[in-house]
Structure 1
């Protein structure tokens, strides 16, 4: 018995026992090959945001087909302004975020969310014109819309058509 607890043979036996146990564990442990992106409901966050700001909040009327809402929060922006963030995994499994705030100056909020202050063009979504911004080193595209009461930014690694898809479902909800 002593020869299996010492030297090279002992090492080989211990290694074999450990590998066999690990292999057995991998065979019987449940494994999922499906992608799982947690879906988070943002309706309460949007409602709470609507009660805390003096304007009608913009929010998706419905989520674009195949998109998964996976994050949402209300945060403090510059000068105490409230900021609403809604995050998504798009149908092409890229990232997109919708942010809105009445932070002033509006240009500062838009530039911070887009990580750029330079417009590269415009994009028509329905009857609304959005400003396009692009930051190449981050592969970040942004659509910006500055309104008198609120600034809207849709940004992420999603391509322009996907960002426009999110812009197309945004609707202003009544104040309150």
Structure 2
């Protein structure tokens, strides 16, 4: 019996016992193969943002099909401006984020959020012109719309058609 507790055979037996134990553990442990992205409700954050800013807030009237809202927050921008962020997992499971602020200068806010100050074209979405920006090293696409009182951005790793889906469901909310 001593030869199974010493030397190479002892090592092999101990290794085999460990592997069998790990295999049994993996077999009896429940495992889910279903993807789970937590859904985070943003309506209260949007309403609170509307109470904090002096302009009518933009927000999705509904979420694009298959998209999951998974984050939202209000943050401080430059010079006392507030910034609303709504994050999504898209139908293709890429990341997209909607941001808006009245931060001045608007071009500086847009460049900071897009990680780029270079336009690569424009895109018509719902009758409105959006500027496209692209940062290749981060695989980040951004749609920018600068209005007189607010700057709107949609940015992320999602492709242009997916970002346009989010832009197409944006609407101004009543001031409240």
2:91 aligns with: 91
Matched residues in 1 for 2:136 and 2:9: separation?
58
After TM superposition, the structure 1 = structure 2 runs for residues 36-51 of structure 1, keeping only pairs within 5 Å, are 36-51=36-51
Following TM superposition, where does structure 1 have runs of at least 4 consecutive aligned residues deviating by more than 4 angstroms? none
**Aligned alpha-carbon RMSD (Å):** 1.1
* TM-fit CA distance, 1:137: 1.6
Matched residues in 2 for 1:7 and 1:175: separation?
79
* TM-fit CA distance, 1:2: 3.5
Structure 1: gaps of 5 or more residues = none
Matched residues in 2 for 1:120 and 1:9: separation?
66
1:175 aligns with: 175
Structure 2 residue 72 is matched with structure 1 residue 64: no
1:151 aligns with: 151
* TM-fit CA distance, 1:114: 0.9
Structure 2: gaps of 5 or more residues = none
2:108 aligns with: 108
Matched residues in 2 for 1:68 and 1:57: separation?
21
1:31-69 CA distance string (max 9 Å, x none) = 111222111111111111111111111100000001111
**TM-score, reference length from structure 2:** 0.95
Structure 2 residue 33 is matched with structure 1 residue 33: yes
Matched residues in 1 for 2:133 and 2:171: separation?
22
2:2 aligns with: 2
Tell me the number of residue pairs that the alignment of Structure 1 and Structure 2 aligns: 176
1:109-165 CA distance string (max 9 Å, x none) = 001111111111111111111111111221211110111111000011111111111
**TM-score, reference length from structure 1:** 0.95
